[in-house]
Amino acid sequence: MTFGKTKIYDMKKKDEIPVIEPKDILIGKADAPFTLIEFVDYESEESEKVHATVKKVMEHFKGKINYNLRHFPQMRIHQRAHKAAEAAVAAAQEGKFYEMHEMLLKNRRHLGTISLNSYAKEVGIKNKSYLANLIDGKYGWTVQDDIRTGLDLGIKNAPAFFINGEKLEGHVTEKSLTEFINHAIRKRKVRNAA
């Protein structure tokens, strides 16, 4: 994991506190030649369903690909998805991003603030300010950055997948995701051979 370039200033301590942003978190081998990016909505049934598929595909391509999770809460239909995404970012500050990601998907129907605080304890978050940070929206701007990036990429709903800048079109299945990654690998081999 690497630290983001953006910093928050703690006015009480007058110290810089680096913020670990979702765009800077890679799951898997850090120097893998390919990065699979998923934009997720924690209240989305489809995001929950596709998660098992992503895990299988990541295991299949272990060492060749890493995984980057970004947020794209569809707030018109999922009012709690934004706060859930903030909870994942808050968990990232203690190295628990992926654990919280899985917890949120598993509990996608129960994402109220008190539940989010409870999930944080379950995944091992120690920060006593966790709940206050959620209530204050301390990490809301990182979720907004992900949303802006998603909109710039033409995303209309989540989940949405990209690999090395190319978008996966159509329904996500184990077969389609595997073919998508294999296509990217072949494309790179052709480019490198030229």
Locus of tokens 């709940």: 131
Locus of tokens 């709690």: 80
The answer to whether residue 41 is domain-embedded is yes
Amino acid (1-letter code) at residue 11:
M
Over residues 138-167, mean pLDDT? 94
The answer to whether residue 1 is domain-embedded is no
Q: Please say if the pLDDT value at position 182 is more than 80.
A: yes
Tens-digit pLDDT profile for residues 92-132: 999 999 999 999 999 999 999 999 999 999 999 999 999 99
Q: Which pLDDT value is given to residue 88?
A: 97
What would the DSSP string read from start to end of 25-89?
Answer: --EE-TT-SEEEEEEE-TT-HHHHHHHHHHHHHHHHTBTTEEEEEEE---TTT-TTHHHHHHHHH
Q: How many domains does the chain have?
A: 1
Q: Which pLDDT value is given to residue 188?
A: 82
- Characterize the bridge pairing of strands 15-18 and 7-10: antiparallel
Q: Which pLDDT value is given to residue 13?
A: 45
More confident residue, 9 or 180: 180
Q: Which pLDDT value is given to residue 16?
A: 55
The answer to whether residue 2 is domain-embedded is no
The answer to whether residue 127 is domain-embedded is yes
**Domain limits for position 62:** 7-193
The whole-model pTM stands at: 0.86
Cα–Cα distance between 60 and 129 in angstroms, integer?
A: 39
The answer to whether residue 21 is domain-embedded is yes
Find the CATH number of the domain harbouring 162. Answer: 3.40.30.10
Q: Which pLDDT value is given to residue 191?
A: 78
Q: Please say if the pLDDT value at position 185 is more than 70.
A: yes
The answer to whether residue 169 is domain-embedded is yes
Helix (H, G, I), strand (E, B) or coil at 180: helix
Helix (H, G, I), strand (E, B) or coil at 18: strand
The answer to whether residue 132 is domain-embedded is yes
Confidence of residue 30 (pLDDT cuts 50, 70, 90): confident
